[in-house]
Amino acid sequence: MKQYVVDAFTDKIFAGNPAAVCVMESWLPDFMMQKITIENNLSETAFVVKEGPDNHYHLRWFTPGGEIDLCGHATLATAYVITSFVEPEKDVIEFDTLSGLLTVTKKGSIFELNFPSFGLKKIEVTDEMEAAIGVKPAMAYIGDDLVLVFENETIVRDAVANQQVIANLPGLGLHITARGADADFCDCKDGNCINDESYDCITRSFFPKLNVPEDPVCGRGHCHVVPLWAEKLGKNDIFAYQASKRGGELYCRFEGERTILGGQAALFSIAELNI
């Protein structure tokens, strides 16, 4: 069985978020897919089988801690593999997933992922949230994951995460985010606070509950933070940066119940698994 490792949300290897992609003719047992994922020791491994219509596939995502219901970078990586090596004539791929039908459209070197937006509810900032990062957040929101908003991007970039504390916070994961370019924090909603710096928002993502201390680039996280920043900045097109050590860029667009995540990909390796 062939396995590809692709760096997603970047145009060069050793950056972005690496995902392994296994293209299969039929499903392996769940325990075997979990063993492969643990052996890969990457944040996510994608398993995909062609099913149904011409461009329709069934896609599942596994972390070292178990199967998950949504993963952006592994979806992008899978679409890259299919359009590069399996069906290069295709530019639209549909995936049946635990999060429903997801569509990826290839536009030149950019892959656009059409994902569900996560609704957020504003909640009280707690001492535990401050202890998780070492700085008190300006605001806190909860969706499927916890989102903490900080006053400037330096706090997000320099944060030292306490994984044990994060593991006890609400939500599956934690995303810490700030407006880009160290601009003065603004919570206005009329669009007057928009600046002209490169990135609209800076984010980092942590998933100790899934044995992923920090996700290098998190599509799922941006389905939380893009709707938030679209409202705060009064704009639907959001150019986002994931400030992990590897770094990654996302070209995002908020469309109400859907969030479009755009990014590039780079192939790192192709291997034959003895399975």
pLDDT at position 76: 98
State the pLDDT at residue 52.
Answer: 80
Position 262 scores a pLDDT of 98
What SS3 string covers the chain? CEEEEEEECCCCCCCCEEEEEEEECCCCCHHHHHHHHHHHCCCCEEEEEECCCCCEEEEEEEECCEEECCCHHHHHHHHHHHHHHHCCCCCEEEEEECCEEEEEEEECCEEEEEEECCCCEEECCCHHHHHHHCCCCCEEEECCCEEEECCCHHHHHHCCCCHHHHCCCCCCCEEEEEEHHHCCCCCCCCCCCCCCCCCCEEEEEEEHHHCEEEECCCHHHHHHHHHHHHHHHCCCEEEEEECCCCCEEEEEEEECCEEEEEECEEEEEEEECCC
Q: Is the pLDDT of residue 193 over 90?
A: no
- Reply yes or no on whether 112 is catalytic: no
Superfamily of 2-116+262-272 according to CATH: Diaminopimelate Epimerase; Chain A, domain 1 (3.10.310.10)
The pLDDT score that the predictor gives to residue 184 is: 39
Rounded to an integer, the average pLDDT of 33-48 is 97
Residue 151: the pLDDT is 95
d(CA 79, CA 229): 27
pLDDT higher than 60, residue 194: no
Quick one: pLDDT at residue 117? Answer: 97
* CATH code for residues 121-256: 3.10.310.10
Pick from 58, 54, 53: nearest CA to 25: 58
Cβ atoms of 146 and 140 closer than 8 Å: yes
Residue 237: pLDDT over 70: yes
Instruction: Report pLDDT for 91.
Output: 96
| Highest mean predicted confidence (pLDDT) among 18-27, 180-189, 190-199 | 18-27
Residue 54 confidence (pLDDT): 84
Q: What confidence tens digit (pLDDT) does each residue in 141-171 have?
A: 999 999 999 999 999 999 999 999 999 999 9
Please tell me if the domain spanning 2-116+262-272 has the same topology as the one spanning 121-256. yes
- How high is the pLDDT of residue 53? 77
For the chain, what is the mean pLDDT? 93
Query: What's the rounded Cα separation, in Å, for the pair 222 and 209?
Result: 19
> What is the rounded CA–CA span in Å between residue 31 and residue 19?
19
Mean pLDDT in residue range 93-119: 96
Of residues 52 and 219, the one with the higher pLDDT is 219
* Closest residue by Cα to residue 257 from 118, 98, 102, 89: 118
* Across 116-121, average pLDDT: 96
Per-residue confidence (pLDDT) for residue 258, from 0 to 100: 97
The answer to pTM > 0.95 is: no
Domain positions in the chain are 2-116+262-272, 121-256
State the catalytic residue, choosing from 44, 153, 214, 249.
Answer: 44
